């Protein structure tokens, strides 16, 4: 079929809507944009406020299949004979979606004021939102947004999507170009979702009320399954696009197309210092497989906000990371005094034991008090053997890199050593070193470390077992992600993995060398 490339309405054209005796004239100012299913215009109309005429600006969308329609001199369009059935069917879908939008009242969704037919096709009239798209907003703010601002916008857009999803509607074209930043009278700049050309409504059984599946895509923002067409209610498709839009706000760059996107690329390209909630919501919302992706707006919001403190910003709830200095100083003093008291008591007990010459001191359970640690450390190793992973030695054997490793590491050979008892002068130093090298169990929340601990951090040879999905190490240039059940058998230095073997719950191992 020959491409017709339908011409837009001319500047100054008077588009008239008629409903019974009522009539309204819109003056076409210029074309704002076009796609395969329609053309969008900036238009003005004269409104009477009392007896005073006012000029109001609108956005008008015209239904027009670009490849089968031809514009006539009077502004009307004609359709190729063989495409008339397709045109009428798609026009019906366009009118149904326009009428559905007309009934929606949500701050983050563009309001529709009127739906009508003219010129052999259909139109709907929307609020004119200006020309500050999210793309331009990010560019004007230095090329990328800070985390708090990106989260605020993402949450506001997610609220709009939640409103749609509760009415069994999916947008299917969420991207920075389809989000306008509206300056409101109260000074707020809020995102508004536009362009519902691909939006679909679904019945209660999940099947579409339209006769065609959504096959339009935007590389970088459309999920993998949308390339084949979506014919059932799939909120997770919008979730993918929302995550991709958040990625754009934080990096200033469009993500790779869904087939090429990976967790490794994601973590390599994200800016440093992001909260765990933002990193996790990006990873989970941009999963290739829909069944592994975040399923709802509620889950998206819960994930992005985890570990943060709530702050109200008008009608949008945003969060920020809680810093230690934000806490009340009185709490710091309170717990500081308690900690000092505990230390004094322990010193008195040790002094009394030394005076009594108690020879059983070596067998007494050691108690570690670390006011900088954020987790509880249990020091008695024989009571923690159940915490070590099955079939995993507490002291790892010499590791050899797998064939897939890009680095070759020579395992150290252990020379024979002779252990001698410390001299009386060095006895205190020897006891301190012995306590420091003793295996302990450290609960980090996302993982449990079993091995030596120094200053509240893993330090030495041991095992790190992961309880949930988490980046293996912040210094890992490959951005490897461990899943729940994975464990690392290796050497840590000051809380960071130096080298070791990654045992995957899905099967297989990989030798990692990160270094310091």
pLDDT in tens, the chain (516 residues): 445 568 999 999 999 999 888 899 999 999 998 887 889 999 999 998 888 999 999 999 999 998 899 999 999 999 999 999 999 998 988 898 888 888 898 999 999 999 999 999 999 999 999 999 999 999 999 999 999 999 999 999 999 999 999 999 999 999 999 999 999 888 889 999 998 888 888 888 877 776 555 568 999 999 999 998 888 999 999 999 999 999 999 999 999 999 999 988 999 999 999 999 999 999 999 999 999 999 999 999 999 998 665 544 445 555 444 433 343 444 444 455 566 777 787 887 777 777 765 544 444 444 333 433 334 333 344 344 344 444 443 443 334 433 333 343 333 333 333 344 444 444 444 444 444 447 889 999 899 999 999 988 999 999 999 999 899 988 888 888 999 889 999 889 989 998 888 899 888 888 788 875
Residue range of the domain that includes 386: 366-407+435-513
Same domain, 122 and 149: no
Determine, yes or no, domain membership for 347.
no
Q: Check whether residue 187 and residue 105 sit in a common domain.
A: no
Mark whether 302 and 165 lie in a shared domain: yes
Does residue 484 lie within any of the structural domains? yes
Q: Is residue 218 part of a domain?
A: yes
In a domain, 144, yes or no: yes
Count of beta carbons in the 10 Å neighbourhood of residue 33: 14
Residue 194 shares a structural domain with residue 303: yes
Element (H, E) at 200: strand 200-201
Long-range contacts (CB closer than 8 Å, 24 or more residues apart) made by 317-324: 317/155, 318/148, 318/151, 318/152, 318/155, 319/151, 319/277, 320/148, 321/275
Query: Are 268 and 202 found together in one domain?
Result: yes
In the chain, how many domains are there? 3
| One domain for residues 123 and 156 | no
| Boundary-marking domain end, from 127, 149, 181 | 127
CB 242 within 8 Å of CB 300: yes
The verdict on 158 and 70 lying in the same domain is no
Task: With respect to residue 296, please indicate whether it lies within any of the assigned structural domains.
Answer: yes
Same structural domain, 252 and 206: yes
Domain identity same for 139 and 279:
yes
Indicate the residue among 109, 127, 145 that finishes a domain: 127
CATH code for the domain in which residue 305 is found: 1.10.510.10
Residue 97 included in any domain: yes
Residues 377 and 448: their CA atoms lie apart, in Å, by 11
């Amino acid at each position: 079929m020959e491409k017709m490339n339908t011409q837009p309405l001319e500047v100054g054209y008077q588009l008239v809507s008629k409903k019974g005796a009522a009539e309204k004239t819109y003056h076409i100012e210029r074309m704002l944009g076009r796609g395969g299913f329609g053309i969008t215009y900036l238009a003005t109309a004269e409104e009477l406020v009392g007896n005073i005429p006012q000029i109001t600006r609108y956005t008008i969308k015209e239904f027009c299949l670009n490849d089968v329609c031809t514009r006539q001199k009077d502004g009307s369009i004609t359709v190729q004979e063989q495409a008339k059935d397709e045109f009428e069917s798609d026009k019906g879908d366009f009118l149904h979606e326009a009428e559905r939008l007309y009934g929606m009242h949500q701050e983050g969704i563009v309001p529709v004021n009127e739906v009508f037919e003219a010129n052999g096709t259909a139109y709907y009239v929307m609020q004119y939102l200006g020309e500050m798209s999210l793309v331009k907003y990010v560019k004007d703010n230095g090329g990328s947004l800070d985390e708090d601002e990106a989260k605020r916008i993402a949450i506001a857009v997610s609220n709009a999507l939640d409103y749609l999803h509760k009415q069994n509607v999916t947008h299917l074209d969420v991207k920075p170009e389809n989000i306008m930043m509206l300056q409101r009278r109260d000074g707020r700049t809020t995102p508004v979702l536009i362009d519902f050309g691909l939006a679909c409504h679904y019945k209660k059984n999940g099947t579409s009320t339209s006769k065609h599946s959504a096959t339009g895509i935007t590389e970088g923002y459309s999920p993998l399954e949308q390339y084949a067409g979506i014919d059932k209610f799939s909120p997770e498709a919008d979730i993918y696009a929302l995550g991709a839009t958040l990625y754009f706000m934080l990096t200033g760059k469009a993500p790779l197309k869904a087939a090429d996107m990976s967790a490794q690329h994601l973590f390599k390209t994200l800016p440093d210092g992001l909260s765990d909630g933002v990193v996790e919501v990006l990873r989970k919302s941009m999963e290739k497989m829909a069944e592994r992706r975040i399923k709802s707006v509620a889950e998206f919001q819960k994930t992005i906000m985890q570990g943060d403190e709530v702050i109200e910003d008008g009608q949008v709830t945003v969060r920020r990371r809680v810093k230690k200095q934000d806490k009340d100083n009185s709490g710091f003093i309170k717990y500081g005094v308690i900690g000092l008291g505990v230390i004094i008591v322990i010193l008195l007990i040790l002094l009394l034991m030394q005076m009594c010459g108690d020879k059983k001191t070596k067998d007494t359970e050691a108690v570690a008090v670390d006011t900088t640690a954020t987790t509880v450390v249990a020091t008695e190793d024989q009571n923690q053997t159940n915490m070590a992973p099955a079939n995993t030695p507490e002291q790892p054997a010499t590791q050899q890199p797998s064939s897939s490793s890009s680095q070759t590491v020579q395992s150290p050979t252990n020379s024979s050593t002779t252990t001698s008892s410390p001299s009386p002068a060095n006895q205190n130093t020897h006891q301190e070193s012995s306590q420091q090298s003793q295996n302990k169990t450290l609960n980090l929340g996302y993982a449990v470390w079993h091995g030596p601990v120094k200053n509240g951090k893993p330090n030495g040879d041991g095992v790190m077992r992961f309880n949930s999905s988490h980046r293996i190490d912040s210094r890992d240039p490959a951005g490897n992600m461990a899943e729940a059940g994975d464990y690392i058998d290796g050497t840590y230095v000051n809380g960071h993995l130096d080298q070791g073997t990654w045992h995957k719950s899905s099967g297989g191992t990989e030798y990692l060398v990160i270094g310091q």
